[in-house]
Structure 1
Amino acid sequence: MKNTFAPLLIALAMLALPAAAQADCFVEYKAKQDSPLRLHYGILAIGGSCPSGSQAASMAQDRLSAGGWVLLNVLGLSETTPSAKMKANAGDYYLRY
């Protein structure tokens, strides 16, 4: 009896893995530094489902300020992994903060 349930349990566990792997919220943002003026576009990940826009902005600002950056605006929130083009556009600022 144990042998018939083991493959079923393994199959169910494998189905649950992709859902757990996509549990992050990706935040697209623009930020700046002054003196001299520097701008960047980036993407950061927040664990769990996406919060409200104002909560995401607050979380992003906290992370960016540690690096001396000021959040200009949040461009978007998504629970899907960013495309290769978005990753390339973010460059060094993809998941940096």
Structure 2
Amino acid sequence: MYDKLIPDPGLTAWYSSATPAWPPVLLEIKERVEQACGIAFDSVLLNYYRDGNDSVAWHSDTLPSSGKHHAIASVRFGESRLFKVRYKTNKSFRSLTFR
């Protein structure tokens, strides 16, 4: 978080263009997502939520080192859970919740 390592209550993994070998199943999912949205992605963050106690806090998909906003694709497998989106700087916009 904020370019610092902190304990994470969930289970996570990160693959990027710098990772030597992506598992074949991840490459297949990546290709399908890219075809569906017409965007090429160069990294993936995997979050495994063991139960209702694992989650991620509000965050932005801006890499501090680049200062740029990046497109994200969210793919869910397994149980449904809430996915919330809110406007960061203009609080007059209502937040959206997806299941």
Q: TM-score, normalised by structure 2?
A: 0.30
Query: Which structure shows the bigger proportion of residues in strand conformation?
Result: 1
Query: Which structure shows the bigger proportion of residues in helix conformation?
Result: 1
Q: TM-score, normalised by structure 1?
A: 0.30
Between structure 1 and structure 2, the one with the greater Rg is 1
Higher RCO structure, 1 or 2 (CA under 8 Å, sep 6+): 1
